[in-house]
Structure 1
């Protein structure tokens, strides 16, 4: 096979995993969106999504795609870790620490670079940099996974904010440093939106602060993982083109890839269609971020609208699939918009795989998100990845 498209619906869970903690028991992003809103997803239903969550989507007798559940291996529920897992692993270097443990290293690195650093609140772990930028624990994912660098773009431009984020990134080994900026608030507003999650986990409630408006900008700064053994670089090494769209342009690394960091869902699909029309051989990874934002905002109606847009736009990709192409639809973690919290939820995620050479079989419950990368690597004929078990032989038509 020559071309693969992987669509990652960010925060699209389909039920709590057996190892989910007490806060995530009973979570089911898709089912709870369907409970709250009249949800109609005819394209995803035709591919087999209803076989996975029949209470949310009407199951069809003969799905067009292979369908199954993926179990996250990475700790908690995280976009960066989830994408690394989907692309083939390399998670062993990640450290799990809070700002109360990291603060001295972060402050020293920032001061060495000429910045002023002081506590945002005396006695707490959050740092105020140059009187405008707050470095704090991310509270939207599991504790110890990520650190946020948050500011108002009324006080600092995004490029300067990102430079501060890069200094923080080089100083610590948590999975992600997330640089977040928007307009319409100030440092006092940030102070008034501090949330204590317990056990030293303290951060800023960015959805309630109002960052997810039309001025929202974000950079996801990941660790320097062995990308040469992940799917995108494997495709590049065999001469294919790689296109990373949406949040994937931030959280997935590939030297020489085409990057378009787009937030609006229609914009992501516009780019995916455009690049697929011009791609002769290679890989497109497109992340739909607005579903995750709706989960953070606890807005089931917005989540349903995003899914409806995804469903409508998927048909354009399906219409463009040739005999040597495959389409994968999956997710990185859950983000139940009815959970009562802005945090990600630990859930199974769906996997739907379609191609003219592929059979629509039940894939069951897979043991890792990395099975997606391993399968696509085998179907595209690349070298093996760091992790994952391919199900290519389960879905390939017997005549191939």
Structure 2
């Protein structure tokens, strides 16, 4: 039996979703807008020949109804389309879970934008159980900005930096050496237990290094503590059926380590891609490799760095042939995203967008998949590809890909 690979290009949205008005995101388009911004600021058109061969540009123009400013565009050789989200939020777990066949049809809990943002009883219990001298932050904040503001005070006082965002999230930043990585992870485990009653989706450990606001930098030891998906995902079903499911990057954390047989971490985009190539090459038949390329979202989307985002996409594009060369007859590649994060949009939050639905197997006939009614169409396609029972959500397109 063949292998499959999912490349989750975190936050590469391709046009405002039909319900974008509910999220204040009408007009957002991560890919088209970062390409335009790159062209305006550098005078050059970004070249993405390999991603365009996978259908990314065609999908973006079909979904977003606006042209993509790009050089060296190629004709698609894949199945390409665009998927809308039926989950209630535009957060990371919702996008990943829906793609795996389990949309989030309930409302997450969120913390208000008041200062302080966290309930006092929650903080009191956290300080007590973790034996803390107190906390810093207690607000909505950008992860990089809050390090500049509070990182030095954190080192002096030993108080962890706790903050949130528009997502259902509780984030804790602490210095790997002065505070200790193990201590930070233990603190996040305690926090995970405490926020369950508030229906918070994730607690995230944000370790960093550096000695002043001028050189603070997050490390690759981030850890996400997610709640369990409300029902078995395609990862669970594949694993139960004997498929070897391999996580690369933060995938295992997002699925609360359920349905995962093997895990790999790697810091940064190029290391994640290199690790993906290595693991895919070494994996046996009947394996699914699932990689999250977090840098697009974390380093560029949230920081509203359109030019940096574009350059990272070009790096991805340059490396993609290395991965395509590893595909054998019958292997399947899916490239998608979990939400948008338009770097030209106001604020620093995710944007409600269509995501690319790109699928490729060697010697296939290219096909336009059109609009997919849910991200779960991709999970259903995986179920068909590996010949397991049908998922509750999604319409698969495996037979369209296989048709010669």
Q: Which residue of 2 aligns with 1:288?
A: 293
Please say if 1:31 is aligned against 2:44: no
What CA distance in whole angstroms lies between the structure 1 residues aligned with 2:392 and 2:160? 37
CA separation in 2, counterparts of 1:262 and 1:356? 28
Taking a change above 3 Å as real, the CA distance of residues 289 and 224 of structure 1, as seen in their structure-2 partners, is same
Count of residues in correspondence between the two structures: 369
8 Å contact from structure 2 (residues 60, 82) kept in 1: no
Deviations 1:155-198 (CA, angstroms, capped at 9, x unpaired): 31122111111111112221111111213478xx7xxxxxxxxx
Measured at CA, do residues 306 and 393 of structure 1 come closer, stay the same or move farther in structure 2, by a change above 3 Å?
A: same
Tell me the SS of whatever aligns to 2:334: strand
Describe how 1:109-120 pairs up with structure 2 within 5 A.
109-111=125-127, 113-116=129-132, 118=134, 120=136
The two structures have a TM-score, normalised by structure 1, of 0.83
Structure 2 segments unaligned to the other structure (5+ residues): 39-44, 62-66, 142-152
> What SS class does the counterpart of residue 33 from structure 2 fall into?
helix
Matched, 1:73 2:86: yes
RMSD of aligned alpha carbons: 2.9
* Preserved contact between residue 250 and residue 261 of structure 1 (Cα < 8 Å): no
Matching residue of 1:14: 14
Question: SS at the partner of 2:161?
Answer: strand
Bigger CA drift: 246-255 or 155-164?
Answer: 246-255
For 2:273, the equivalent position in structure 1 comes to 269
Alignment map for 1:238-387 (pairs within 5 Å): 238-252=241-255, 253-255=257-259, 257-279=261-283, 280-292=285-297, 293-356=299-362, 358-387=364-393
CA distance in 1, matches of 2:185, 2:98: 25
Matched, 1:157 2:180: yes
Structure 1 unaligned regions, length at least 5? 190-208
After the TM superposition, which of the residue ranges 149-158 and 311-320 deviates more from structure 2?
149-158
Look up the SS of the partner of 1:135 in the other structure: strand
- Taking structure 2 as the reference length, the TM-score comes to 0.82
Q: CA–CA distance in 1 between the matches of 2:93 and 2:397?
A: 24
Of residues 116, 135, 153, the one that matches 2:162 is 135
* Equivalent residues of 1:357, 1:397 under 8 A apart: no
Structure 1 CA distance for aligned equivalents of residues 52 and 315 of structure 2: 14
- Structure 2 residue 108 is the aligned partner of structure 1 residue 107: no
SS of corresponding position for 1:239? coil
CA distance 1:61–1:260, shift in 2 (3 Å): closer
Displacement after TM superposition at 1:104 (Å):
4.5
State the partner residue of 1:88.
101
Contact kept? 2:88, 2:107, Cα under 8 Å: no
Q: Deviations over 1:61-119 (max 9, x none)?
A: 85211111111222332122211111221635763231678625533542452423646
DSSP 3-state at the match of 2:6: strand
User: Match for 1:53 among 49, 60, 63?
Assistant: 60
Q: CA 1:358 to 1:103, structure 2 compared with 1: closer, same or farther past 3 Å?
A: farther
Q: Against the structure 1 CA distance between its residues 182 and 16, is the aligned structure 2 distance closer, same or farther, given a 3 Å change threshold?
A: same
User: Shift of the alpha carbon at 1:350?
Assistant: 0.5
Partners of 1:183 and 1:216 within 8 A in 2: no
